[in-house]
Amino acid sequence: MITRRGLIRSTAASGLLLSAPGLFAPALAQGAKIKVGYVSPQTGPLAAFAEADAFILEGFAKVAAEKGLPIEVIVKDSQSNPNRAAEVAKELIIDDGVSLMLVASTPETTNPVATTCEAEGIPCISTVAPWQPWFIGQQGNPGDPATWAPFKYSYHFFWGLEDVIAVFTNMWGQLSTNKSVGGLFPNDGDGNAWGDPNVGFPPVLSAQGYALTDPGRYQNLTDDFSSQINAFKAANVEIVTGVVIPPDFTTFWTQAKQQGFTPKAASIGKAILFPQAVDALGDTGHNLSSEVWWSPSHPFASSLSGMSASDLAAGYTAATGRPWTQPIGFVHALFEMAADVLGRVSDAGDGDAVAEAIAATNLNTIVGPIAFNGAGLPPFAVKNVAKTPLVGGQWRLKDGGGYDLVIVDNKTAPNVPTGGTMEAIV
Amino acid sequence: MIWVDTIVQGVLLGGLYALFAAGLSLVFGIMRLVNLAHGDLIVLAAYLILFVVTVLGVHPLVAVLLAAPMMFAIGWGLQRLILTRTLGDDILPPLLVTFGLSIVIQNALLEGFTADSQRIPMGAIETASVALGPVSVGLIPLLTFASAVLVIFALNQLFYRTSLGRAFRAVSDDPTTAQLMGIRPASVFATATGIAMVVVTIAALYLGVRSNFDPTIGPARLIYAFEAVIIGGLGSLWGTLAGGIIIGVAQTLGGSINPEWQILSGHIAFLVVLLIWPRGLFPRAFD
């Protein structure tokens, strides 16, 4: 039977014989354009993650032209829909014949695309999704760790849940509190992972002497948080944490203020990722804290253009008039990875060789060093995941209005400079 | 005391849902038109208010006064140009058209205003509260509730005390006979949708002050509005307020037992009411 993979392998082998003189030349030097697919949520509820795509792609095209990299990027929109993401990934593989797939932003985008690539034997690099939902979410039986298997073609770089937990508890350690924590965990993929009694916040918090009040999993787009506020008040909560969507956090925070509940620290994932969402809180967003994946003060530079993190952020603001956001660095790093990997393979059409090249990556990118060396990872994820540094930051009101994200804790990544220390909200 | 607080918060939340539902109730009651784009029209109005606030630098309450006539015109035109053509014996065309409209509005807003979370800024009043006995009540939720009562009172006056209201009731009961009496249903319908859009603008103000909104947030609110209308009974505006309060209180009571039950208990309350009173609590007409 002729299978697609078998056919590729045999044609690749015969092609190899014909092009024997160029055998050891890297694929990039062979002249023919290499097609790279890129899937991201450009429209729909997740569109904020992809708002810098056009800027990054333009920058990449410029560098590629300067350096003579024959890479053609084909961009597709997932419309923030997992089914659509899988569909466009198929189109990229079958209709466009891409040699490498890049995908970014949230498990809703990365997982369907990576799964499709894995099935089709196309190498895939993904980012901007904590590695647990990416790795475990793609397993046949997410509930049974014994069945988890590594992937052959899918690779991922980002941080994980354990890093967020470490960053948050480090930040709280800087304050004197009664160690009573209130949890806001919604009934979605992130909320269930963060609140999971085995791998989420609860075991780490109890080990470090924090008491967690977790009223239960609420639905996203809840209009009233009085039950949570009453539970937090009853437990004398001084620290609030959770992974909340922006409208829900505004509802909660406004209602908490109305009810006279103000914790000393509020460390929230997701809701206050984008500066626009913090602006929406008016003056009440001062000193809210969250995890910081990337910022202009990160001491890293692009392997493609040599630009520093602050240059990239400033360039984005200059080009679009909008404030920098954290996904910018990671989307840029994705294209650094693509150029680096394709520069090290001799035949970009050989999926196995490209996958091997990805696994062998050792690159200093704008988001930090990326190497699939298994550092800080459990054995099952060693092959496919590379971790990037994570620190903690607080949003501070600027004098002229608007907010600045100030890095206040770097115990987890000491090479990232802090801009201040953790301050209590009141 | 927590129980009292829970119920008070639920009643206030009900005011918000009643505001969402009032415009829908009006259109549904008069034309039997199920407007699936209602939630998106609320979001559209919220962006309009925000736009006026940003461009003219006026207070949101003033911006509502400016946005309301614009929304009236949008509603009037929408009904005249599009929705009227879908009305008929078949209930499917209006459903399909408004569903499509919902997608069009969402994507147009996404193009025009990006996916950013927005909020209508009201300053310190956002977090202000007053003490009502043992419970602390937010000023904005209180205003929301008061506005809901006021809007429904005003709509009722319009409905039962004016000649326009008589025309509304006439075309609702029997458009053909109403035509014999010199009423033009198409024009009455357009005015009704325009008024519904004015109510939508008021709802949008409180949606936008209470929390963030983005272009895709509309449909999530639609379901509560529908449930409030159905619980209250077709065509009854006070019933819509009651329906909103029932859903709001059911949600906060369910949430106080376990947040997992919050949204679910609102839906269960809706089903229970339907089981016992299939035509809603205060149905106006028999049809």
Enumerate domains of chain A plus CATH numbers: 26-159+297-386 (3.40.50.2300), 162-292+390-409 (3.40.50.2300)
A234 contact residues in B (CB cutoff 8 A):
2
Count of CB contacts below 8 A, A vs B?
135
A15-29, A43-57, A192-206, B88-102: which range is least confident on average?
A15-29
Q: Cβ contact (<8 Å) for B116 and A44?
A: no
End-to-end Cα spacing for chain A: 70
Amino acid at A314: A
Neighbour-count burial of A418, counting CB atoms closer than 10 A to its CB (0-12 exposed, 13-18 middle, 19+ buried)? middle
- pLDDT at position A261 over 60: yes
Q: What is the mean pLDDT of residues A146-151?
A: 93
Return d(Cα B21, Cα B247) in angstroms, integer: 12
Q: How far is A207 from chain B (nearest CA, A)?
A: 26
H/E stretch holding B208: helix B185-210
Cβ-based neighbours of A106, under 8 Å, separated by 6 or more: A41, A46, A49, A128, A129
B256–chain A Cβ distance below 8 A for any pair: yes
- B260 closest CB neighbour out of A45, A217, A250: A217
pLDDT for A22:
41
B260 is a domain residue: no
Q: Cβ contact (<8 Å) for B251 and A224?
A: yes
Is A41 in contact with A47 (CB distance < 8 Å)? yes
Return d(Cα A72, Cα A34) in angstroms, integer: 6
Domain total in chain B? 1
Q: How far is B40 from chain A (nearest CA, A)?
A: 14
pTM > 0.90: no
A150–chain B Cβ distance below 8 A for any pair: no
Task: Select from A187, A230, A183 the least CA-distant residue to A206.
Answer: A183
H/E stretch holding B92: helix B92-113
Domain housing B44: 21-214
pLDDT in tens, A314-361: 999 999 998 999 999 999 999 999 999 999 998 999 999 999 999 999
Task: Select from A155, A154, A160 the least CA-distant residue to A129.
Answer: A160
CA A353 to chain centre: 26
Q: Cβ contact (<8 Å) for B119 and A250?
A: yes
Give the mean pLDDT of chain B: 92
pLDDT in tens, A216-242: 999 988 999 999 999 999 999 999 999
B268 is a domain residue: no
A153-157, A277-281, A368-372: which range is least confident on average?
A277-281
- pLDDT at position B152 over 90: yes
pLDDT in tens, B259-274: 999 999 999 999 999 9
Q: How far is B162 from chain A (nearest CA, A)?
A: 36
A17 pLDDT band, cuts 50/70/90, is very low
pLDDT for A33:
87
Return d(Cα B19, Cα A315) in angstroms, integer: 45
The SS3 assignment for B70 reads: helix
Q: What is the DSSP string of B99-111?
A: HHHHHHHHHHHHH
- pLDDT at position A23 over 70: no
Task: Select from A13, A155, A38 the least CA-distant residue to A98.
Answer: A38
B57–chain A Cβ distance below 8 A for any pair: no
B249 is a domain residue: no
A103–chain B Cβ distance below 8 A for any pair: no
B216 contact residues in A (CB cutoff 8 A):
44-45
Give the mean pLDDT of chain A: 90
- Tokens representing A194 are 């963060």
- pLDDT at position A116 over 70: yes
Q: What is the mean pLDDT of residues B16-35?
A: 91
Return d(Cα A165, Cα A44) in angstroms, integer: 29
Return d(Cα A208, Cα A407) in angstroms, integer: 23
**Residue B188: CA atoms inside 13 Å, Cβ hemisphere, count?**
23
Q: What is the mean pLDDT of residues A298-315?
A: 95
B106 is a domain residue: yes
Q: Choose the mutation target among B9, B117, B139 for the interface with A, i.e. most A CBs under 10 Å.
A: B117
Q: What is the DSSP string of A26-67?
A: -GGGG-SPEEEEEEE--SSTTGGGGTTHHHHHHHHHHHHHHH
Q: What is the mean pLDDT of residues B144-148?
A: 97
pLDDT for A19:
43
Is A131 in contact with A154 (CB distance < 8 Å)? no
B99 is a domain residue: yes
Is B262 in contact with A227 (CB distance < 8 Å)? yes
Cβ-based neighbours of B153, under 8 Å, separated by 6 or more: none
B43 is a domain residue: yes
Q: What is the mean pLDDT of residues A371-398?
A: 94
